[in-house]
Chain A
């Protein structure tokens, strides 16, 4: 099903509540950034740092690997999702792991790690409470920072087999259930928000403490992370740490900002993943690599707020997902860049200044490049003769046939009356 169909279903069921919840977060975010006088300067800095990194990505990857090894972290480089999953599986096999606790990592979602490991007999427990809710529901996260924002407390109670729908009760119930999983897990897997090149450290920002329990309890801690997460130095990291939580949820900072080097009581491994990122550097969409996954563009998007994240059908939904998904699979996701009013709200909130309005229009061109209808219209708009002919054909076609031909478009919109004569023809 396409975005608009899924969006209509979602809106009828949950749209207004979802919209309201996300708008409240957007307002909290606005309040939080107003307290930082130099916010715009920070955005400018953040954008420049990310430009520097993606323009010299190869060098920064080399520097990070060198320093992380020096620090005592084991390093792997995976060129694609398959290689990533195999590396992780081999690491787990080595210690005969049966159960892993995972904290939020959009990259492992991108690679389909859970399914890969489960097929090979390893149990994967998502431990972020929101992710655990969607895992138990047999769904995927609908938002990259608030994975279960589409669910109600009644639905959470139901999936836990509880009749009490009090959020505190339900949260503590899940904490209890998951604590046992942490204590009996053989390994922990997490993502990372940043990698510091000149130190070789990985930085993880979370609120729940689940990533830390997964990092500190089992003997093996695996960090799966995309190459674009590198920042050059601690000084640069400081810029992002001031922005990330404020822009995501309106918190001044997440509860934990953990900086990982060598693991004291076991082994820490970082799997750096390319999966198309280096290739993207050579395309007109390379700026999407600047994204720090703060999720502000999802939360602010008027389409996302009403359609929910699942309508995008991709691991990363919303405006940034509408750029990333078609790069991953053009046919499957060609509708996404059109699930957008070009209102530009995403560009206004993006901490690294990804030029959304331009990129989304470019993406529309990209996905329709080979589309016959679009090509035909484009050609006719470029030639006065063809345009005349084309408009004549439209004028002469009965409205009922036109309506049918433009079914998707006309289904939810009033079809305009086409005047019998062109204005220009007098």
Chain B
């Protein structure tokens, strides 16, 4: 889990204790340790239109994308941090077209 969180942060993602007001919230099914990405099955426009997106997720992880593929049985989206670009002179900027901030919050009681 520590490795997952490290990689999530590297991609610009945050770990939230509770969900602040004004965030769009959805559910993720699991995380991928090697890159800090989460699998979200529900593909809604708010995921990309909202300024701030939070996903609730269980403490369920796979090590690599190869292992992740075994768990996928429907379309959806892997998300790794907030949207980003480095198109203006290679400077990394968060909030390219999609969310400026992206956080996860672990399901309680696990």
Task: List the interface of chain A (C-beta within 8 A of B).
Answer: 21, 24-25, 36, 127-130, 133, 146-149, 151-153, 156, 167-168, 170-172, 175, 178-179, 182, 201, 207-210, 212-213, 216-217, 234-235, 237-239, 241-242, 249, 251-262, 264
Contact = CB atoms under 8 A, between A and B. Distances in A.
Interface in B9-52: 10-11, 32, 34-37, 43-45, 47-49
Contact of A257 (B66, B77, B98): B77
Nearest to B82: A255
Contacts of B10: 252
A253 B97 contact: no
Contact of A256 (B69, B75, B79, B90): B79
Given A238-B65, A252-B7, A252-B37, 14 more contacts: A147-B87, A168-B93, A171-B93, A171-B96, A209-B96, A209-B97, A235-B66, A237-B69, A253-B11, A255-B11, A255-B84, A256-B80, A257-B80, A258-B78
Contacts of A256: 77-80, 83, 98
B62 to A, nearest CB: 10
B95 interface: yes
Interface of B: 7, 10-11, 32, 34-37, 43-45, 47-49, 64-70, 72, 74-91, 93, 95-99
B72 A234 contact: yes
B61 to A, nearest CB: 15
Residue of B67, B69, B70, B81 with highest tally of chain A CB at under 10 A: B69
Given A171-B96, A212-B48, A235-B66, A128 B87 contact: yes
24 contacts: A24-B90, A146-B87, A153-B88, A156-B88, A208-B84, A209-B83, A209-B98, A212-B47, A212-B98, A213-B48, A213-B97, A234-B72, A235-B70, A239-B66, A251-B11, A252-B80, A253-B11, A255-B83, A256-B77, A256-B78, A257-B37, A257-B80, A258-B77, A260-B75
A150 B99 CA distance: 27
B80 A253 contact: yes
Contacts, number: 155
A286 B36 CA distance: 36
Contact of A238 (B66, B85, B99): B66
B40 to A, nearest CB: 10
A255 to B, nearest CB: 5
Contacts of A179: 97
Contacts of A239: 66
A85 B82 CA distance: 34
Residue of B64, B90, B95, B97 with highest tally of chain A CB at under 10 A: B97
Contacts of A249: 86
B97 A241 contact: no
B103 to A, nearest CB: 14
A403 to B, nearest CB: 42
Contacts of B99: 209
A216 B10 CA distance: 27
Contacts of B82: 255
Nearest to A253: B35
B7 to A, nearest CB: 6
Contacts of A25: 90
B108 to A, nearest CB: 27
The 10 tightest CB contacts between A and B, nearest first, are A209-B98, A208-B96, A252-B35, A238-B66, A167-B91, A130-B87, A209-B83, A261-B75, A238-B69, A257-B78
A171 B82 CA distance: 14
A311 B79 CA distance: 36
A153 B89 contact: yes
Nearest to B91: A167
B11 A241 contact: no
A209 B93 CA distance: 13
Residue of A151, A255, A264 with highest tally of chain B CB at under 10 A: A255
Given A216-B45, A242-B64, A259 B95 contact: no
Contacts of A36: 34
A249 B97 CA distance: 19
A252 B65 CA distance: 10
B97 A175 contact: yes
A167 B82 CA distance: 17
